Amino acid sequence: MRARYGSAGALGTSPTSALGRRYAASVAAVVVALSGLGLTGCGIVAKVRNVAHAVEANKATIDAFTTKMESGEPPKFEVTYVTTGSSPAKIVYAVEQPKGLAFTDTPSGASSATSLDIVVNSSGEYSCALSSSTGSGSGSGPSCQKVQPVSQATENEIFDFYTPAHWVAFLRDFSIAAGFAGDKVTSSTMTVNGFTMSCVDFIASGVAGTSTICTTAQGILGYVKVASDTTSFEITSYSTSPPASLFELPPGATVTTVPTPTTTS
């Protein structure tokens, strides 16, 4: 969906004024395009009204959904997700405001050495690899790299995916793009692994199936399924008491600092 609608807006930012300008510019663009097709006068008015109605309908549906996301997310929590499909994985995401963040992505059946482990605390941001055993049972200890600000952008994009702010901005811009594309946005509910969730469903022109994004009662991401993709992403557990160890480096870890990239002519 990001590839289809990624041009609608930047991740993590969606000022109301900017959306208003984008909406006005988009309406103007539609008028110009329809004029080029010979649809003038009443024909343009009718087409623009149809687009406006689609945009407003989609916007109302998405606003109702994003309001629930914005009203949740406690200052401290831990949530576990699993992905389905041919390459399943377990994902743990934890928050301890204002400084603590933790993320692990462990493929099913893989050794700990292949998992992604990111820790953010008051001393900085780290990317860690846990110890990996050899065939004799011995192995190296855990190692962590302290990430410099230039390199943090990639790590922070990973965190951003799970935040309500990301999805609120994305979906609000998406409602406009979908309206102009003639796509349909509806709401629904579902229960996954004991979590009752509110969802928005997208039916895109030329794409088989329905894409779905859901939020839990706590206002956090709960389920994602993209049309025609066999993989889904779903919540399995949630707690407001994450262990302190999640936001600490592994005991005995060797820490190195990633040098800041330099630019040349």
Residue 222 buriedness (CB in 10 A; 0-12 / 13-18 / 19+): buried
139 Cβ contact partners less than 8 Å away, ≥ 6 residues apart:
131, 132, 133
Distance, CA of 259 to CA of 39 (rounded, Å): 58
Helices 16-36 + 164-181 axis angle, to 10? 20
Parts of the chain with a pLDDT under 50:
1-20, 30-31, 34, 39, 47, 113, 133-138, 261-265
β-sheet bridge partners, residue 125: 120
Residue 192, pLDDT score: 93
Residue 82, pLDDT score: 93
Residue 242, pLDDT score: 93
Residue 250, pLDDT score: 85
57 within 8 A of 202, measured Cβ to Cβ: no
Comparing CA positions, the residue from 113, 215, 238, 218 lying closest to residue 166 is 215
CA 194 centroid distance within chain: 22
Residue 194, pLDDT score: 95
Distance, CA of 147 to CA of 149 (rounded, Å): 7
Residue 6, pLDDT score: 35
pTM for this prediction: 0.69
